[in-house]
Structure 1
């Protein structure tokens, strides 16, 4: 079933193809092509470092390969992928904290230090100030802010990804925005 150039296959069709032994690998490759960039940037905003983001993304796709056959389609495919990516990010960050003998505050500032160490870092540019401000947020607020601000994910969808009420997500986002505004104004 060859598609014309520029035409994307819908997720439902990809899932059907994935469940067929003859087209499983081709369908998985198409899923990767369709979602890897969005997932990479979602992960990168959480873990900061490019190499770490690639490692986490690889783990995400391993989990997807192993679990896609059992995907019940209770939610959209991208919601399921974001949930896996989010869980992998949180697991990675948790492992980093456990490996480190630092306090939680020092561990959190480690992400800021990675950002500052980036060869393109310019503290005078607003985009870098924004990134530094985001890194100061608690993990949950950072995650909610990134999903809403960068991925423009609706609260309803975010609620399914994070298994949290829409009201709690709106409050988290509101607090995150206030903290970011304060950081940018005072630094």
Structure 2
């Protein structure tokens, strides 16, 4: 009798723990149901639409974000650099390349909850399309670091894991036909603080 009760309890603990852990992982992972990947960047194009899968809806509910609909824009998140390493706040990165057509875009350094990185400095850890210096061939080179850099500088600070969030507003890439030929900027690690 006691043996059966313990086995039943153990089965329930494994089932509830395993189920809860798998849901937590599915909601936390940047790759998953409905995700598209372009280079180091991942997006969930259906997240703000009625066609969103249950995991996308749960992600929006858990994080409390206002998801963009297809006609409004699309957010991409990068968690790794071009070499496959996790993005770290104590490292310096170069984000370089062309940006797809959009009326407006923003780029910011994010913490684990995908909120803007708190740097403790008066300069915001975000850039936008109207405030960047472009190369003659219309490419953009952005340095992300905790110390000032020439040109386009995205302030980061502190230690630990970091993400980059690139959001395009009023863009044709948000439609299902626009994602096939999109190229996004590369994220290259320059070095890390010792």
- So what's the TM-score if we normalise by structure 2? 0.26
Higher helix share: 1
- So what's the TM-score if we normalise by structure 1? 0.27
Higher relative contact order (CA 8 A, sep 6+): 2
Which one has a bigger Cα radius of gyration?
Answer: 2
